[in-house]
Each structure stands twice: as C-alpha cells, then as structure tokens.
C-alpha cells in the first residue's frame, strides 16, 4: 500500500505581510522536510494572511500575491524542499475577479491551483464581496496517492465539493482553513470533519490558522481523521504546531476525470511511484480541546498579544481602577506580554475610594507591572468650573480626563492604550465615549460581565494550582461594582443585577430574540423594556468603540451591523 | 388605447420607523389620489427604510414589517385610496430567509408580491448577507394595462428581469429604487433607464429615495421614460416630490405566462377594463440635474440635516477655528438647520492667531449662529505640566481639550457635536484621535480639501447672486491653512501642497491604483512614498472616526474596508 508522511503546519500569519509569511512557510516546510514529510499543508490564504478585506480589490496587491507565490515555489526548491508537495493558500485574480485560492508547490513550480467554491457571506465573513467562486477540483497524484483539496467553507457544504471528490475517487483530502474561534466551536468541527471524511471515503487533513487578526482570533484545533472518521491526531489550540502523521492508502478506487456534477475534475501527476515501504512513526498524541474558561482565556491572550505585536507596539497602558474589569485586563496583558510591558495608571478622582487605590496598587505588584498614580482632580476642576458642568456632563468629564491622560502618556512614551470595558456595559451603553472607551484595543469587549468574574476566579485558581501568586486581588472580585463617578455610586443604581442583565442580553443580542420571546421566557416586562431601550440607544456608542478581540459568535460576541439612525424599537 | 395616470412618490423614509413610514405612504397616496392617479410607486423598502442592515436578521422585525404591510393595505382602503394600485417596497421573510420585496396594494389587499432578483454586494451594499433572491415576476393588470416591476439592482442587469419582461410582454415597467448619491451618478442613470425601457418595449418609471441615512445620502432624480427611451419627466434632486404623468398604451403585445428564462411569470388581474378615455394633463416639467458644486452641497446639507433630525437632535455644536473646514461646516449647518440651531465655540490656545478669532466671530455673525469663546490654556497647562508632555503629545493634548470641551457642552446642553475634518486630512491621518476627530457626525468627511475651498467659493458666489451676505469670510478662504498647535505651524510643513496631495489620493484611494501606476502618471517617487505611507498608517485612525455622510464613490468618498493589522505597504 502506498504510504505518505503528512505534515500539517498550524501557523500564525500576518495579513498583508507577504514576505514575512513566505519566510514562515519556508521555515515550517524545512521543519517538515527534516522530519521526512512528503507533503505539508498550510492554512487558507497563508501567504497573504486572512482576511485581507478590501486589499483583495487592489490590483497591486493581487499582483504582489501572485508574484510572491511564484517566488515561494522557487525558494522552496532552492531550500532543498522541492520534493515536498506544499499546499499554500494565497490570493489569486484572473479576468473574472479575485480568487480565494490554494496552490500545490512542487519542484520549484506551481503544480496545481484550485479556487474556493463556496464563499461565506454571513457573520464575520464577506467573501462574496471579494471573490468569484471556482468550478474545478484539482487532484494531485503524489507518490501514487491521489490527493483532493477543499478550502474551508467548501467543507461545510452538504452535497458540495467533498461529495464530488467521493464520486470522482481520491485517496486523501486536505483542507486549508481560516476558521475563527467561537465558544465551543471545537464541538462542531470534529463531527463535521469525521462525516466529510466518510463521504469522501478518504482520510482528511483539516488544518486551521492560529493567531489574532484585528477583531478575529483563530484557534487552530487542526485535526487529521481516517477514512472511517476516527481521529488520528489533533493539534493543541492557540499555539503554532506541526502535526506529523504517517498514513498508508489502500488505493484501488475507481478514478474519473472531467465533469462531476457542477465541478470540472483535473488530475495532475507529480509522481506515480509509491515511496519505498517504511516504518511509520509512532502516532502523535491527540490534544484535548481546552476546558471552557481556559479556551476563552487563551483566545483573549492571543488576540491581545497579536494585536499589540503585529501593529508594532511593545507595551500597553490603561487605567487601573481597582475594579474587576481593569484587573482582568491587567492579568490578560501580563500573560500576553509579560508584566514589564504593562504600564498601569491609577487616576483617582475625589470620588475614588481608598480601597480602590489599594486594590490597584496590589494588582500591579501581583502581576509585576509598572504603576503610577495621576490624580485627575485638577484637570476636572478646570473643565467643570469653566464650562459650568453638572450631573452626567460632570461625570463624563472625569472619564474623559482619564482618556486624555492615557492618550498623553501613550503619545509621550509609545504604549498602546487598552480600553477596559466589558461586553455587558458596551451593550447597554454604560460607558463614556472618548472617556473609558478610549483605546486602540479592547481586550474584554466580547466578555459579558458575569464571565469577567468567572474568568478572574478561574485565573486565580489556576495560579494557586501552580503555586503562583493569584494575579487578581480578591477584593476586586468580591466588591460591588461601581464607576465611582459620584459619591456612593453603584452599577446597580442604573442597571439590573448582572446575572439577569447578561441573561437578557444573551437572548436579545446573541440570539436575536424579540420582546415577545423574552416575555415568554419569563422575564418581567419592566426589566425587558429597560434593557432593550438601553441596548437600542447604545448602538451608536458601540460603533465608535475601538476594534477589539472579535470572537464571532453566540454567547460570546458577534457584532451586529445595525443602522445608527433608526426608528425601530422592539415591542 | 388604455390610459393611466401614474404617480411616482419620491419620499424621505427613516430606517426602522414602520409607523412613520406607513403614515408617509398614506399621506402621499392621498395626494396622488387627489390628483386622479391610478397607480403610485414608492421607493425600494419604503416601509422599512433602506438599508436596514442586520435588522433584516431579526425575526421580530421581519414579522413587524409584514404586519405593517397588511395593515397599510387596510388603511389605504379605509382612507379612500383602495382603487389605486400602490407599489410599496418592504422587508419580507419566508422559510428561505429575508427578502427585499415590493408589494402591490389594492382594494385593502396585498394583490401581488415580488422579491428582488439581483442582490448587490459591493461598495456600500451587503445584500447577499441579508436576502435570498426571488425567482418570480409578478405582472399586474390595472385598467387593462399590464404592469411589470423590477427592484433597483434588477434594472442594472444585462439579460436580467427586464429582458424577461420584454419577452413575456408588458405595457409598463415600474422600478422602486434606493440608489445612493454618487458624484455624477445622474449621468449614468438616464442612459440606463432609457436603454432598459427600449429592451422591455414599454415605458419605465424609475423612482428613487431621497434623504440621508447614516453614511448614505439618496438624491432622488426619479425619471419616467417612454418606450423609445425618451424622457417624459424627471424629478428634482434632494427634495420630496410627486411626479404625475398621463400615459396611454398601445397594447396588442403577445403575452405569455409561466417560465421565461430563469423567471416564473405570474399574472394578476386587478381590473381588465380600461378607464374611460380622458384628457391627459399637460406634461410636467423635466428637472435639470444640479450643476456640480450645487449637487455636492445639497448632498452634504441633506446628509447633515437628516442625521441630526432623524436621531432626535435639534441643534449642533463644533469648534469654530476661523479656518476653512469649520467655516464650510458652519455654512452647511446653517443651510441645513438654520443659524439659530448652530452653536459655534471658539477655543483659542496660546498659539491661536488674532485673525483666527476674528474670522470665527465674523463667520458666526454672517450665518446668524450662537457663538462663545472658551480658551483652552488652563486645561492644557494642567495636563502638560502634570504628565510632563512635549512635542506631538503636547500638540495632541490641545486638540483633545477641545474635544472634551465640546462633549461637555454637548452633554450639558444637548447639541450634537460635529467633527469638522475633511477627507484629505482623514486620509493621511492629519488629525488627532479623540481630539478634532470628536463628534457624532462629520459633514465634510467625504470632501477633499481642494473641494472644500471650491465649495466655499461656490456658496459665497451663490449668496452674492441672490444679494445675500456670503456666509464664509474671505480670509478663511484665502489664508494658508494651519492647525495652530505650535508657533508658526502651517499644513505645508507636514503635507505636500493640497492640489498635489488630492491628485495622489484620488488615484491611490478612490481608484485603487498602485505605486507603479502613480510613477507612470508622473508623480515623483518621493512624494508618492510619503503620501502612501501616511495613508496606510492612517487607516487605523480612520476606523475610529465617527460616522459621516458617506457618499459612495470615486472622486468623492467610498470608505475602504481594510485590515488594521497589516504588513502590506505599497511599493
């Protein structure tokens, strides 16, 4: 039976960085070659990064992508990796328009090219805006093994390219993906991949990107399954990883060419003779998906680290208030960048409690960050007195003087400002635009308040397990939340209890349920109307919020695209 | 020959305001009925407003739209308008998903419903994200006249629904549209409409929305053409208008039903007998499209007025610096809202020149606005001294103290803050985030600097023609532009000459041309690289800019969707 050593390179690319991504592909192909692999698979659009958005519409960029692919083929051969079949996702373009494409590079040439068939255009995806769909299936024969390919969404289609590959006959299917992290998405992926392998009648290599890209985080979770759908190996989430597996192929399936359903099948032979029979490596371990809080935590850490580093920053600054939100942001930042890259600023006003300042200082010590105190009293006084402000206008000036302070320190010292707002307060508009909403990245923008507390407790417990100092002061977790913008103020003065609030938001925002559904679920009309009105009014503020870790789903954080000017009110 | 009196209601709807839009439809149908019309056409999605974005994905909203349509049919009949065929765009949904739909209301019933076939998914359109395409063509017979319908993008398709209507046989085609304003778009519309009428072999009623909706402005420019493509009548731009025309129809064309190409043709008879022959009204006048500057000016005024009013504001405030940008914003605001709804604030620093303050005061007097002076020196001093800021950090603090001042006054008095930045400075990042970029609406965000000057001169000349006081002080137009954030600062210290800069931006941003194209056009490598680097770095700032009049094209202002984290640099 023909054998192949298959490598799946779960890497972290950067959008638009054609030369950096090419270097990465050469480096990981070399690693695969050193381990004797015959083919190596990279993620969807690995050469350009994903998603390139409107860059796909720039001819200079599509030209550069095509040129980079050709030169990558040469470089791989020059690096002694020419014998490997290297599957590389890239951006192509022809007379029909841009294409989401994957190529097989071999012996210095582009041996085959396939365009994505099914273009997702929902949630975080806008691919019909950019790409024209492909109609061909390019099947490559490598050492006597017939290898078909499907790109990401093509795998999710019932009766799609996988069915066609099953009909035309292949020994192996490889699938480059850029599948953004969603809470519990790993539970969906494995059954899907298993089912598709069975439909194709062939083992399937599912390879996904890792890393943060603006609002998205990719978690990896690459999987190799056998023809019967059983898991051969699975990669850990959120880390770069090379999965290497030996497989042998029974062969003997009937093979067709030409039209299969809506697809044109093209077959290319790279090498017909099987490799001499060899002893397979021991099976690699099957990584377990991370438990719930750990998965979310690493998604947030990954999104934050990549946003900072890929944008050329080395350090971050933000307001350390002593509250739970900024404490969790601080712990995330310390995990992502190291405590020495974190510059916490306490900005007390006359309404700030003594314990808040103590908790902030305690936090900085626990995570090993820099810490300074910049009271805002003198700044606030000038605005309030000169402009004659009171009430909400006075409260907002406090938050805005903090924003100006952080941006001043950022401009002077080069730190990226983080906004510390959570998803719940953003959803209901409980924040000050140009105030606490200031920042280039908002690490917990997609985390509801109740999950913020849950993550804090989980992170502290993890530290205790390892005998480390828990990063978050207990007091920040247990005290009742307050914006401290007027004497004795508590969040519960303006908002329902957070448990109740998050339950309603989950129904209304995440699940798109309406007022009558909420009533049917037993929430009171009074609290429903209060929350829905707050959410509808907050849309405008949310639009002005800086980009953050956008983790794209249900119960976790898909952003809505809603009109700002709207007469629609639920109910 | 059968006759019909046709009314085309070019109205201004509001997204999500189902009851307000229904009122509007009843009111304008009554006007049409009073003038003896037999049918009246409203714009695309008139009942829901356009575009509803993710509201289309909320079941509670699609349910509400369908219920509103049914109750509108009843109301129209109850109001004595039951005999008219009323074409109303609305949001439908069935088991396949949401639909961009238009219905014919008649005698209290929904007599016919057609779904849009071609869903635009480029530029400002995301319709494939929301809607499923229709497959039917509903042809209604009214007083013996067979009337086909196509919704907006369906009209732009070669070999599309219009071709099918031509094959199946109709006497008249009506087309409800929501076609956003672009510079010179009226030059494209008329030849298109004329060509399609000829293809259908029938007169065509092209009816477009007017008004501002968040980033979009609709200009109307509704047109009725005869079967040979010649213009019968044309509505003025940017105003609500009822076009009324009598037409007679030769009839005698062959008529088919059932499948025509990809479409299923359904025919519904409302009334087979022609109306008794009557004397047609005199032909209404054919409005001339506005000249270039006037068209842009009214687009900006319309976008600003509707953003303010549809969001429930009555007044605006912004920094009046004495410079050209804030002067043009002031003149636009006074034209849109009246001078008494405009609250100008002069916020001089120690670097502000005497002439700047004089020019600002002069401007306020010319447009009849409120005016106050709030020096920022004391505020800036506290930040600069306490935080130890200098250089760019110090310059930015000045802009941010102005932002906090305007937001404080907004919170205290309820004015909407306008950001006064122009497209050129936004494109190259020559602005301060959370500083001069503060504001809920940015009226000239899509106007390049050179066009700002051109508009200022045009507006003053128009005033002189009418014997009015020119709104913009001559000095604001002629003096060299300066941010006045340090002594003697001029824009040209940091930027190329604006004529040159706007030429390069037009190529690079609007036309998506690359570095080599720019070199070929004769720009110097030095200036190209400087500008391109500034634009690429400014993308991040632009993303945080508030929504503004988005006028969607070439040489005027389509926003790009680009990754913030990107390694791509042109060249």
Under a CB-based contact definition with an 8 Å cutoff, are residues B456 and B472 in contact? yes
Q: How far apart are CA B235 and CA B329, in angstroms?
A: 28
Q: What is the pLDDT of residue A552?
A: 41
Residue B217 backbone dihedrals phi, psi, to 5 degrees? -130, 135
Contacts of A397 in chain B (CB under 8 A): 404, 408
- The continuous run of DSSP H or E covering A462 comes out as helix A449-465
Contacts of B386 in chain A (CB under 8 A): 374, 378-379
Q: How far apart are CA A140 and CA A170, in angstroms?
A: 9
Q: What is the pLDDT of residue B482?
A: 87
pLDDT, greater one: A560 or B8: B8
* Three-state secondary-structure class, residue B388: coil
For the CA atoms of B194, B196, B200, B202, what is the dihedral angle to 10 degrees?
A: -30
When scoring A379, A568, A571 by the number of chain B Cβ atoms within 10 A, the one with the most, hence best to mutate, is: A568
The confidence band for B554, taking pLDDT boundaries of 50, 70 and 90, is very low
| Mean of pLDDT values over B303-321 | 93
- The structure tokens listed for A39 are 């083919």
Min Cα–Cα distance to chain A from B514, Å:
5
Q: What is the pLDDT of residue A562?
A: 66
Percent of chain B predicted with pLDDT > 90 = 77
Compute CA A79 distance to the chain's CA centroid, rounded to the nearest angstrom: 32
C-alpha to C-alpha distances, A507 to A539, A567, B176, nearest whole angstrom? 17, 21, 35
- The structure tokens listed for B240 are 């609500």
Dump pLDDT digits (tens) for B239-297: 999 999 999 999 777 888 899 999 999 999 999 999 999 999 998 899 998 999 999 99
Min Cα–Cα distance to chain A from B254, Å:
36
Q: How far apart are CA B205 and CA B155, in angstroms?
A: 11
Q: How far apart are CA A391 and CA A6, in angstroms?
A: 66
Q: What is the pLDDT of residue B99?
A: 98
Interhelix angle A324-337/A354-367, rounded to 10 degrees, is 10
Q: What is the pLDDT of residue A538?
A: 76
Catalytic residues of B: 44, 116, 152
Q: How far apart are CA A246 and CA B159, in angstroms?
A: 53
Q: What is the pLDDT of residue A553?
A: 37
Q: Which residues pair with B175 in a beta bridge?
A: B206
Under a CB-based contact definition with an 8 Å cutoff, are residues B501 and B531 in contact? yes
The confidence band for B543, taking pLDDT boundaries of 50, 70 and 90, is low
* Three-state secondary-structure class, residue B10: strand
The answer for A5, left when phi > 0, alpha when psi is -120 to 50, beta otherwise, is beta
When scoring A23, A517, A519, A567 by the number of chain B Cβ atoms within 10 A, the one with the most, hence best to mutate, is: A567
For residue B211, what are the contacts with CB-CB under 8 A and spacing of at least 6?
B12, B13, B14, B217, B218, B302, B306
Under a CB-based contact definition with an 8 Å cutoff, are residues A214 and A86 in contact? no
Q: What is the pLDDT of residue B110?
A: 98
Q: How far apart are CA B347 and CA B196, in angstroms?
A: 55
* Nearest Cα residue in chain A from B372: A387
Min Cα–Cα distance to chain A from B147, Å:
33
- pLDDT higher than 70, residue B557: no
Residue in B378, B387, B563 nearest the CB of A214: B563
Under a CB-based contact definition with an 8 Å cutoff, are residues B413 and B392 in contact? no
Q: Which residues pair with A242 in a beta bridge?
A: A9
Catalytic-role residue among A66, A81, A116, A423: A116
Catalytic-role residue among A132, A152, A183, A310: A152
Under a CB-based contact definition with an 8 Å cutoff, are residues B561 and A54 in contact? yes
For residue B134, what are the contacts with CB-CB under 8 A and spacing of at least 6?
B99, B101, B114, B115, B116, B117
Q: How far apart are CA B536 and CA A360, in angstroms?
A: 37
Question: What's the whole-model pTM score?
Answer: 0.94
Min Cα–Cα distance to chain B from A365, Å:
22
Contacts of A374 in chain B (CB under 8 A): 386-387
Min Cα–Cα distance to chain B from A52, Å:
6
The residue ranges of every structural domain in chain B are 3-121+131-274, 293-543
* Three-state secondary-structure class, residue A177: strand
The confidence band for A558, taking pLDDT boundaries of 50, 70 and 90, is very low
Q: How far apart are CA A451 and CA A435, in angstroms?
A: 23
Residue in A367, A221, A243 with CA at minimum distance from that of residue A295:
A221
- pLDDT higher than 80, residue B568: no
Q: How far apart are CA B156 and CA A52, in angstroms?
A: 28
Contacts of A515 in chain B (CB under 8 A): 60
Q: How far apart are CA B317 and CA B308, in angstroms?
A: 11
Min Cα–Cα distance to chain A from B226, Å:
35
Dump pLDDT digits (tens) for B485-521: 888 888 888 899 999 999 999 888 888 889 999 999 9
Dump pLDDT digits (tens) for A164-209: 999 999 999 999 999 999 887 878 899 999 999 999 999 999 999 9
Q: What is the number of other CB atoms lying within 10 angstroms of the CB of residue A250?
A: 10
Dump pLDDT digits (tens) for A229-263: 999 999 999 999 999 999 999 977 788 889 999 99
Residue A346 backbone dihedrals phi, psi, to 5 degrees? -90, 130
Contacts of A306 in chain B (CB under 8 A): 565
CB contact under 8 A, A407 and B434: yes
- pLDDT higher than 50, residue A75: yes
CB contact under 8 A, A15 and B568: yes
Dump pLDDT digits (tens) for B410-457: 999 999 999 999 989 888 888 898 999 899 888 998 899 999 999 999
Residue in B368, B395, B364, B397 with CA at minimum distance from that of residue B380:
B397
Q: Which residues pair with B241 in a beta bridge?
A: B10
Q: What is the pLDDT of residue A39?
A: 98
Residue in B261, B264, B255 with CA at minimum distance from that of residue B160:
B261
Q: How far apart are CA B16 and CA B310, in angstroms?
A: 11
Q: With a cut of 0.95, is the ipTM above it?
A: no
Q: How many CB pairs lie under 8 A apart between chains A and B?
A: 227
* Nearest Cα residue in chain B from A400: B404
Dump pLDDT digits (tens) for A275-319: 999 999 998 899 998 999 999 999 999 999 999 999 889 999 999
CATH architecture of B3-121+131-274: 4-Layer Sandwich (3.60)
Under a CB-based contact definition with an 8 Å cutoff, are residues B87 and B176 in contact? yes
- pLDDT higher than 60, residue B549: no
Dump pLDDT digits (tens) for B26-42: 999 999 999 999 999 99
Contacts of A566 in chain B (CB under 8 A): 14-17, 49, 55
Task: Provide the edge-to-edge strand list for the sheet that holds A316-319.
Answer: A370-373, A342-346, A316-319, A416-417
Q: What is the pLDDT of residue B392?
A: 92
Q: Which residues pair with B8 in a beta bridge?
A: B41, B243
Q: What is the number of other CB atoms lying within 10 angstroms of the CB of residue A511?
A: 11
Known catalytic residue at A81? no
What does A220-286 look like in DSSP terms, one character per residue?
B--EEE-TTS-EEEEPPBTS-EEEEEEEE---------EEETTEEEEEEES--SPPPP-PPPPPPPB
Residue in A448, A552, A431, A560 with CA at minimum distance from that of residue A503:
A448
Determine the length of chain A.
Answer: 571
Dump pLDDT digits (tens) for A348-372: 998 888 888 899 999 999 999 999 9
- pLDDT higher than 80, residue B571: no
- Whole-number CA gyration radius for chain A: 26
When scoring A565, A566, A569, A570 by the number of chain B Cβ atoms within 10 A, the one with the most, hence best to mutate, is: A565
| Mean of pLDDT values over B161-171 | 95
* Nearest Cα residue in chain A from B537: A311
- Taking chain A, what is the end-to-end CA distance rounded to the nearest angstrom? 66
What is B293-543's CATH superfamily?
HUPs (3.40.50.620)
Q: How far apart are CA A97 and CA A132, in angstroms?
A: 6
Residue in B63, B389, B408 nearest the CB of A408: B389
Q: How far apart are CA B443 and CA B333, in angstroms?
A: 9
CB contact under 8 A, A383 and B403: no
Contacts of A122 in chain B (CB under 8 A): 129
Compute CA B469 distance to the chain's CA centroid, rounded to the nearest angstrom: 29
Pure H helices in B277-352 = 292-310, 324-337
Where are any strands of DSSP class E within B355-448?
370-373, 416-417
- pLDDT higher than 60, residue B374: yes
Q: To the nearest whole number, what is the mean pLDDT of chain A?
A: 92
Feature table: binding site of A for ATP: 319-326, 420
Residue in B15, B63, B561 nearest the CB of A563: B15
- The continuous run of DSSP H or E covering B6 comes out as strand B3-10
Query: 């494109």: which residue's tokens?
Result: B427
Residue in B122, B214, B570 nearest the CB of A563: B214
Pure H helices in B77-211 = 127-130, 161-168, 186-200
CB contact under 8 A, B561 and A126: yes
Interhelix angle A324-337/A292-310, rounded to 10 degrees, is 70
Dump pLDDT digits (tens) for A512-522: 889 999 999 99
Query: 């050593």: which residue's tokens?
Result: A5
* Nearest Cα residue in chain B from A514: B60
- pLDDT higher than 60, residue B115: yes
What does A369-405 look like in DSSP terms, one character per residue?
-EEEE---HHHHHHHHHHHT--HHHHHHHHHHHHHHH
């Amino acid at each position: 039976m023909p054998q192949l050593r298959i490598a799946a390179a779960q890497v972290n690319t950067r959008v638009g960085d054609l030369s950096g991504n090419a270097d990465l592909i050469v480096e990981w192909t070399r690693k695969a070659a050193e381990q004797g692999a015959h083919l190596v698979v990279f993620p969807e659009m690995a050469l350009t990064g994903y998603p390139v958005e409107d860059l796909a519409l720039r001819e200079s960029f599509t030209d550069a992508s095509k040129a980079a692919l050709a030169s990558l083929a040469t470089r791989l051969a020059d690096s002694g990796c020419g014998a490997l079949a290297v599957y590389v996702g890239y951006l192509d373009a022809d007379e029909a328009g841009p294409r989401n494409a994957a190529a097989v590079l071999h012996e210095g040439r582009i041996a085959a090219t396939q365009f994505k068939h099914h273009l997702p255009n929902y949630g975080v995806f806008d691919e019909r805006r950019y790409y024209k769909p492909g109609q061909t299936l390019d099947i490559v024969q490598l050492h006597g093994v017939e290898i078909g390919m499907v790109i990401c969404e093509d795998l999710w289609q019932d009766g799609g390219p996988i069915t066609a590959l099953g009909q035309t006959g292949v020994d192996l299917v490889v699938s480059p993906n850029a599948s953004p992290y969603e809470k519990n998405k790993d539970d969906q992926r494995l059954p899907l991949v298993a089912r598709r392998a069975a439909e194709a009648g062939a083992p399937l290599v599912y390879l996904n990107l890792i890393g943060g890209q603006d609002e998205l985080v990719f978690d990896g979770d690459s999987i190799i399954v056998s023809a019967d759908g059983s898991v051969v190996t699975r990669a850990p989430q959120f880390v770069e990883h090379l999965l290497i597996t030996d497989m042998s192929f029974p062969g003997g399936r009937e093979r067709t060419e030409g039209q299969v359903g809506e697809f044109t099948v093209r077959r290319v032979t790279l090498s017909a003779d099987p490799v001499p029979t060899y002893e397979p490596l021991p099976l690699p371990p099957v990584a377990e998906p991370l438990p719930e809080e750990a998965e979310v935590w690493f998604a947030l850490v990954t999104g934050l680290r990549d946003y900072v580093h890929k944008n050329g920053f080395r350090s971050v600054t933000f307001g350390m208030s002593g509250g739970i939100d900024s404490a969790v942001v601080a712990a995330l930042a310390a995990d992502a960048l190291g405590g020495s890259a974190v510059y916490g600023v306490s900005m007390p006003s006359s309404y700030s409690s003594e314990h808040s300042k103590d908790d902030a200082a305690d936090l900085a010590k626990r995570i090993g960050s820099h810490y300074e105190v910049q009271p805002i009293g003198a700044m606030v006084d000038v605005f309030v007195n000169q402009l004659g402000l009171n009430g909400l206008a006075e409260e907002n000036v406090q938050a805005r003087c903090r924003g100006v302070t952080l941006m001043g320190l950022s401009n002077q010292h080069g730190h990226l400002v983080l906004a510390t707002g959570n998803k719940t307060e953003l959803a209901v508009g409980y924040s000050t635009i140009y105030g606490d909403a200031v920042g280039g990245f908002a690490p917990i923008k997609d985390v509801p308040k109740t999950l913020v507390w849950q993550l804090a407790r989980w992170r502290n417990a993890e530290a205790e397990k390892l005998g480390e100092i828990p990063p978050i002061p207990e007091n920040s977790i247990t005290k009742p939340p307050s914006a401290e913008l007027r004497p004795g103020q508590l969040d519960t003065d303006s908002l329902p209890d957070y448990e109740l609030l998050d339950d309603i938001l989950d129904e209304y925002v995440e699940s798109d349920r309406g007022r009558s559904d909420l009533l049917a679920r037993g929430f009171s009309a009074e609290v429903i109307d209060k929350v829905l009105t707050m959410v509808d009014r907050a849309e405008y503020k949310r639009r002005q919020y800086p980009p953050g870790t956008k983790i794209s789903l249900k119960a976790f954080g898909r952003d809505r695209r809603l009109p700002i000017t709207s007469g629609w009110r639920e109910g």
